[in-house]
Structure 1
Amino acid sequence: PCINRYRVNWPEVELDLSGGFNFTPFPALARGDIDLVITSDPVEMAGIHYVPLFHYEAMLALAKNHRLTKRAYVTPDEMAGETLITYPIDRNRLDIFTRFLDPYDLEPADTRTAELTPMMVQLVASGRGVACLPNWALTEYLGSDVITARKLGPDGLWCKLYAAIREEQLDTPFMEDFLSTAVVSSFESLSGIVRINDNEEGLGQVPPAT
């Protein structure tokens, strides 16, 4: 929805998408090969500015008959016997490690990777492991009763999604319009996301007030 809406206002702007876990986006952004990176894992770099888009909750996806479905939320020590399915990226970029398990010096029983969210969901549904995924990405699967999900900790594990851009493009009309369109489209189409507080500062993850 975001791209289609943006193309109406800026038909002269060429839009292309790059992805894949072997792609290193931040050096490409700094070089000018690409103009924008969507990330929940900001890396402080000279000349790069991060525009916060929204908060989302990272949740633990579980098979319908998993033992942890009896819990209102999952604690770090309860991950000790689980196989954790993640995207194939360094663990220091995964919030479930850096903000949930590592502070308690805990590890899952095993890990495995999958590149695509639908593949991760199928592995979870078949009892091959558990996965930490954004609440908005889980909505369609929870609605179809394929899997279930639980909070990570009593307050949940809240994260922030950013748009990374070069500082020189921060005030350009085409970029300002894309960012505003992205926020509007996100709140129209994604469930469970929370608006950024104007008083928030820095790159930290601030849980929304309840």
Structure 2
Amino acid sequence: MNNQLEVRHLRTIAALYEAGGVAKAAERLNLTQSALSHQLKQLEDHFGLSLFERKSQPIKLSPAGQRLHTLALAVLPQVADACRDIARIRDGAAGSLRVAVECHTCFDWLMPAMDEFRPRWPEVELDIVSGFHADPVGLIHHDEADVAIVSEPDNGEPMHYFPLFRYEIVGLVANDHALAAKAQLDAQDFADETLISYPIPDDMLDVIRQVLKPAGIQPKRRSSELTIAILQLVASRRGVAALPAWAVAPYLERRYVTALPITAKRLYGELYAAVPKARAGLAYVEDFVDTVRATCAASLPGITLL
């Protein structure tokens, strides 16, 4: 049999199995759904049988698909290791990745990503610049950080912005709050409420920047460093909040508070990794970004890779 199997096919099978559907697999591979479906069709035509059951949800691999998935599990890590070794030869393996963040919830996904990255690049000094930083890019300029996690690119900065992911920000109210019966929260709903948030400037809060400020709404404010403390205040009817849906998912499953979309269009935030342009092409920097995207796609509910 002429072998037309390629590494990209194994990546497709692995992504299909891990994501549980064509749409999510295409997102992880940065392909369109039609391109992914076409690739699978070519592979099935080559082998002469189906690789997965199309009506199952999540997708279930056929015996042939399972065999290719077993092969992918064995081969893809070796391919990745070889590519990293070659990159070490080309770029050198040592360096530093001091990560500064401007969002309190970043630590929830950043730590698992760093744990995944560390054994792959043991020579790279990996660290988190402690504390919340309103201007993490400024730390790069002062040589106090190497990577900054930010909510939007700044074209005025000499940085390369790696896109990470997009996520929904939901409004949170007490289960017995009158607003809990609404289909969505609009700007006016915040007018007579206390907005509970992390202690960050107003222009860094998406709900204020994108929704409340344009509507001329200035609610009373209260802040807390901890997500669970914010939710406790919300549950006690001390105010309302607007937080990433993935960050509060475990509490919503226990019906600790009620989550509602913010406006009919829904409110979304985005995250990027800012790196000096001169360092953006380093292999370990690119691999760090890839690791962050992969671990977040696998563990954070409801996000969309950018």
Once the two structures are superposed, residues 19-60 of structure 1 have per-residue CA deviations (whole angstroms, 9 ceiling, x without a partner) of 423664221112222111112244444322221111101111
Instruction: Give the 3-state SS of the residue equivalent to 1:104 in structure 2.
Output: coil
Tell me the secondary structure at the aligned position of residue 77 of structure 1.
helix
Question: What letter matches 1:10 in structure 2?
Answer: W
User: What secondary structure is seen at the aligned counterpart in 2 of 1:175?
Assistant: helix
**In structure 1, what is the Cα distance between the partners aligned to 2:171 and 2:289?**
29
Contact 1:21 1:88 in 2 (8 A): no
Structure 1 partner of 2:171: 60
Kindly provide the CA deviation profile for residues 48-78 of structure 1, in whole angstroms up to 9, marking residues without a partner as x: 2221111101111111111111011111111
Q: Do the aligned partners of 2:161 and 2:274 also contact (CA within 8 Å) in 1?
A: yes
8 Å contact kept, 1:41–1:93: no
Q: Deviations over 1:159-208 (max 9, x none)?
A: 11111111111100010000000000001000010122xxxxxxxxxxxx
Match of 1:124 among 223, 234, 238: 234
Aligned to 2:249: 139
The alignment's C-alpha RMSD in Å is 1.5
Ranges in structure 2 where 5+ consecutive residues have no aligned partner? 1-111
Aligned position for 1:92: 203
- Please give the secondary structure, in 2, of the residue aligned with 1:153: coil
Compared CA separation, residues 182 and 21, structure 1 to 2 (3 A): closer
State the number of aligned residues: 195
Q: 1:72 and 1:161 mapped to 2: Cα distance?
A: 27
Tell me the distance in 2 between the aligned counterparts of 1:154 and 1:30.
40
The alignment-based identity, stated in percent, is 38
Shift of 1:138: 1.1
Q: Does 1:162 align with 2:272?
A: yes
Task: Assess if the C-alpha contact under 8 Å between 2:170 and 2:262 holds in 1.
Answer: yes
Q: Give the number of the structure whose residues are more often helix, by fraction.
A: 2
Q: Partners in 2 of 1:87 and 1:188 — Cα distance?
A: 26
The residue that corresponds to 1:206 in the other structure is: none
Task: Report the counterpart of residue 144 of structure 2 in structure 1.
Answer: 33
| 2:214 partner letter | P
2:144 partner letter: D
Match of residue 207 from structure 1: none
Q: Which residues in structure 2 correspond to 1:67-78 (within 5 Å)?
A: 67-78=178-189
The 1:188–1:158 alpha-carbon spacing in structure 2 relative to 1, beyond 3 Å, is same
TM-score (norm 1): 0.87
- Looking at structure 1, the residues matched to 140 and 228 of structure 2 have their Cα atoms a distance apart, in angstroms, of 28
CA–CA separation in structure 2 for the residues paired with 1:174 and 1:22: 24
Q: Helix, strand or coil for the counterpart of 1:178?
A: helix
2:134–2:200 contact (8 Å) kept in structure 1: no
Gaps spanning 5+ residues in structure 1: where?
197-210
Q: Kindly provide the amino acid, as one letter, of the partner of residue 4 in structure 1.
A: D
- Please give the secondary structure, in 1, of the residue aligned with 2:118: helix
Q: Aligned letter for 1:35?
A: D
Distance across 2 between alignment mates of 1:98 and 1:43: 16
* 1:195 counterpart residue number: 305
> How far, CA to CA, are the matches of 1:42 and 1:118 in structure 2?
29
Deviates more, 1:174-183 or 1:50-59: 50-59
Change (3 A) 1:23 1:56: closer
* TM-superposition CA deviations, 1:91-111 (whole Å, max 9, x none): 011111111011111122x11
Equivalent position of 1:172 in the other structure: 282
1 or 2 for the larger relative contact order (CA 8 Å, sep ≥6)?
A: 1
Please tell me the residue identity of whatever aligns with 1:130: V
